[in-house]
Chains A and B, each alone.
Chain A
Amino acid sequence: MFAARCVGVSLAVFVLLYVSLSLTVSWGWKLARRMFRRRSARGLADLLFILRILPFALSSVVTLAFTLPSFLLLEPRSTDEAIGTAPLALGLCCLSLLAAGITRAAMTQRRASQAMMKWLDGSMLMESQILESGEAVPIFRTGNNAPSLTVAGVCAPKVLVSEAAIATLSPPELRTALRHEVAHALHYDNLKKLVFRFSAFPAMADLERAWSEQTEMAADDAAVSSFPDALDLAAALIKVSRLGPAESSSELSMALLHSSTALRTRVQRLVRWEKRQTPQTPRGWWYALPLVVAGTIGMVMTYGSVLTQMHVVTEWLVR
């Protein structure tokens, strides 16, 4: 009974934190989004990713670092107390949430792998782009049953380019388009999408959409280093749009009521391209380091009292 109560209480705290933090982040983002308009696309995409996973990460940390130890250390093992209705219901909610997340992520990954295998059938390795980290991103030439230009693969991303795209795009256009795809691979954007699938939360849809837009713009920025490059990428976007989707990609579309604004915004942004004055590397993160260090030290010093407080909270939950 002690173990069941421990698990029930831990899961209940997790789900309460996860839901409240998710709602706070999604509402907070809606209110504060204007403050971040001047940030670079890459900086904003990274910030949005952190905000998106923050509720899950923070709830996990609090559960594992505080709730679980406080229960194990401070709850008397001898009592024959029942789990309680609230922890039981919330615990079951949490288990359902986690099971749904795991199933959704596994099924998504399976479908993506199947699609990639189908597209890679009969494909040919064109070249490998060596990244700054020393890793190589292979670029495959696929048949016309695959999307025109795609990055597939979660942990080992591959760039797929169809014969139709190769035939349609001029060499400079193809080069910038490939650089765009390699930027997605470099930042493991597919893995991030899978993480979103695992920790799905309805109220996060806006934030995910914003992340998706900023990621595309960040990849555009990474692919372009001059105005002619920007025009080549804009031309590639228009030409690939005219190519139409491959048969198999139609089921993989992301948004229900997708508007034409995403393509329009990207092309208009590219034709207005100018050399960015701000550095690409997000230096702002370093300012947060002292705060994180101070927070960690403070937490270590007050760990005992925090555990006691946490136990009071969980006791209230059980009653």
Chain B
Amino acid sequence: MLDGTLRMKRILNLLRRPSIAQLGPLEQQLLAALWARGSSTVREMLDAGNLKLAYTTVMTTLDRLYKKELLNRVAEGRAFRYFPRYTQEELEKAAVGETIRQLLGSGVSAGLPLSYLVEAVSQHDAGLLDDLQRLLDEKRRELKSGEKA
């Protein structure tokens, strides 16, 4: 029982870190895939065929989840085998509790009176930023070709 309480406390402390609370879509997708599989290497995840992503993208994202203490890993040859550190149920329970705690402390105003150019800057997926960069490059090219014409 004490073990369970301590475990939940650890998850709650993790959830209070913005980097954990703000998992990007790709991080959520990979975490869900690991919950479904139990454990996996990057190659196994890609070979399963559900992910249309580059090897390095999956590797970087799993490494980020490991650094956020959501995954454990063990060396397996030249790669790592990743395991979810907490079950989906444990994380969801803790997330709901933490959301309620935040709501009772009011919403957006729970932060300090500071304005950032971008909120929680590192919490976005590298993949999302790449997509947005491509969109921007495309618009810049259109602008340049429009100017030339």
Contacts and interface: CB of A to CB of B under 8 A. Distances in A.
The reply to whether chain A is a binding partner of chain B is yes
Contact of B106 (A208, A231, A234, A249): A208
B120 interface: yes
Nearest to A252: B112
A194 B108 CA distance: 11
Given A180-B117, A256-B102, A241 B122 contact: yes
Label chain A's interface by main secondary structure.
helix
A12 to B, nearest CB: 23
A111 B112 CA distance: 7
Interface in B76-128: 95, 98-99, 102-125, 128
A112 interface: yes
Main secondary structure of the interface of B (DSSP, over half): helix
B114 A190 contact: yes
B99 A253 contact: no
Interface residues of B, number: 44
B83 to A, nearest CB: 24
Interface string A210-241: 01100100010000000110010011111011
Contacts of B115: 150-151, 181, 184, 189-190, 193, 215, 219
Q: Which interface class (under 10, 10 to 19, 20 to 34, 35 or more) fits A?
A: 35 or more
A258 B108 contact: no
A260 B123 CA distance: 8
Report the 3 A-B pairs with minimum CB-CB distance, sorted nearest first: A205-B107, A253-B18, A196-B109
Interface of B: 15, 17-19, 21-22, 24-25, 95, 98-99, 102-125, 128-129, 132-133, 135-136, 139-140, 143
